[in-house]
Structure 1
Amino acid sequence: MSIKTILTCLTDTQTAEAVLRASALLARQHNAHVIGLHTIEALVVYPGIAMHVPDSVFAAYGQSQKEQSAELKTLFETYLHAEDFASEWRLVKSQSETASERIVESAQCADLVVMPAVDSDTQNNAHARLLEAVIRDAGRPVLVVPKDFKADTLGQ
């Protein structure tokens, strides 16, 4: 299989370095194009629940999403700026769709998707569902990288 485009899904700052390391190793081996993708998910309030959500909650959520995106973009650019292969940053907002749907959409143009593994310490069910949906629906191979990945080689 020829790998020419690698979609690197950056979901949080704790796992970003491991995912970027794995993507860079593969991109060097295959002279591939790396796309760093961060998806901002909309704050969904279910209409069946009768409760008032103040505007400040939406504003705080939006601000935290912007800050996390800026941190991930900085990590992406810092980690890949000196590489010989092509790389680009993409920030995608999922308004009515879920984050997994937007990632699957982006994966259709890639040869490989690289995502962080579910952290067994936190039992993050949302990330587990995201990972499962991408693996099931992307139609592309998905390399799942543990957060403590520090190897100097990959795929030998």
Structure 2
Amino acid sequence: MSYKTVLVALNEINRLDALNAAAARIAALDGAFVRGLYTIPAAQIYPSTGFEAVPQMFEGHQTFFKNNLPKVRNAFEAAMKQAKLEQEFVSVEGRSPLISDEIISHGKSADIIIASATDPSEVSGVELDCIERILVGAGRPLLVLPRSNEHKLDLDRIVIGWNGGREAARSVFDALPLLRAAKAVDVVCVDSKNEERVTPEQPGRRIVATLQRHKVKAEARTMESGGESAGKALLKRAAEIDAGLLVMGAYGHSRLREFVFGGATRHVLDDMTRPVLMSH
């Protein structure tokens, strides 16, 4: 397996350099094609608060993204040219105010999607639950970059969160091109004695053996959470060994207009300190 089409979502303008660098790094593994997607969202429509029974339109975030289009295009094309990668920049007029709708639509025909976590402290125009929407809707592996620039994508050392579940299995095999590029991969089972799906004897043994057949330099590890979320434990392990990437399943579903995720997934989404590849 290899990635042949990489989709990078470019609407988090403050993270352009990191997004372009991550796309170039992943595409360079096997000469993949990179599509840079930039969405001009549709104007938001709100009910009128006056006496007239007509909706009011808010076009502020739409104008923001229109004004930044040249900057985003130039940054993307320059980064891909420098990396000598085949690329295409796509600017689309969104069918809705939700940028995630277009990422999901385009992402379904890509091998992997790259996006940045949205910073709630900044007014970027991107919906705060954009990552959650992509995870549930796209059906593709999603590489999420953290909100800050402290940690860029580094494939030398990777941590896998393994509990034997369907989502964990999917994330591991979705991440194979990245895992093969790593110098060391830790397959970490958190609180393995409490997890029935993990092999009781030598947790992680079978998945590590499979990865090794794929030429992945993988080893099984166990750790106790100490009563904390498994997500917090995985982030702690990644920090201890300065891993450049965490791979894990995304456990959750959508319910009406909200997204309900398991404790480990929710913690990592809220507090990620380094890039995370998730599959749902």
- TM range, smaller chain: 0.7 to 0.9
Superposition deviation, residue 125 in structure 1: 9.6
Aligned partners of 1:36 and 1:89 also within 8 Å? yes
Match of 2:251 in 1: none
**What letter is aligned with 1:135?**
L
**What letter is aligned with 1:66?**
K
Q: Let me know the Cα RMSD of the aligned residues.
A: 2.8
**What letter is aligned with 1:42?**
A
Aligned partners of 1:8 and 1:36 also within 8 Å? yes
Secondary structure class of the residue paired with 1:45? strand
Deviation digits for residues 42-89 of structure 1, max 9, x if unmatched? 12122x33348889x74x655432211221111101211132321110
Secondary structure class of the residue paired with 2:144? strand
Match of 1:84 in 2: 84
Aligned partners of 1:115 and 1:142 also within 8 Å? yes
**What letter is aligned with 2:18?**
A
Give TM-score, length-normalised by structure 1: 0.82
In structure 2, do the counterparts of structure 1 residues 98 and 118 end up closer, same or farther at CA, with 3 Å as the change threshold? closer
**What letter is aligned with 2:82?**
A
In structure 2, do the counterparts of structure 1 residues 130 and 141 end up closer, same or farther at CA, with 3 Å as the change threshold? same
Ranges in structure 1 where 5+ consecutive residues have no aligned partner: none
Q: How does 1:128-139 map to 2 (within 5 A)?
A: 128-139=128-139
Deviation digits for residues 117-142 of structure 1, max 9, x if unmatched? 23365497954311110111101000
In structure 2, do the counterparts of structure 1 residues 25 and 73 end up closer, same or farther at CA, with 3 Å as the change threshold? same
**What letter is aligned with 1:5?**
T
In structure 2, do the counterparts of structure 1 residues 142 and 152 end up closer, same or farther at CA, with 3 Å as the change threshold? closer
Q: Write the distance in 2 (CA, Å) between the matches of 1:64 and 1:42.
A: 12
Identity %: 26
More helix, by proportion: 1
Aligned partners of 2:33 and 2:87 also within 8 Å? yes
Aligned partners of 2:43 and 2:97 also within 8 Å? no
Q: How does 1:1-156 map to 2 (within 5 A)?
A: 1-46=1-46, 48-51=47-50, 58=59, 62-96=62-96, 98-119=98-119, 121-122=121-122, 126-146=126-146, 147-148=148-149, 149-151=151-153, 153=155, 155=178, 156=182
More strand, by proportion: 2
Q: Which has the higher contact order (CA 8 A, sep 6+)?
A: 1
In structure 2, do the counterparts of structure 1 residues 130 and 82 end up closer, same or farther at CA, with 3 Å as the change threshold? same
Aligned length: 153
Secondary structure class of the residue paired with 1:29? coil
Aligned partners of 2:42 and 2:96 also within 8 Å? yes
In structure 2, do the counterparts of structure 1 residues 151 and 2 end up closer, same or farther at CA, with 3 Å as the change threshold? closer
Q: Write the distance in 1 (CA, Å) between the matches of 2:125 and 2:44.
A: 17
Q: Which has the larger radius of gyration?
A: 2
Ranges in structure 2 where 5+ consecutive residues have no aligned partner: 157-177, 183-280
Superposition deviation, residue 109 in structure 1: 1.1
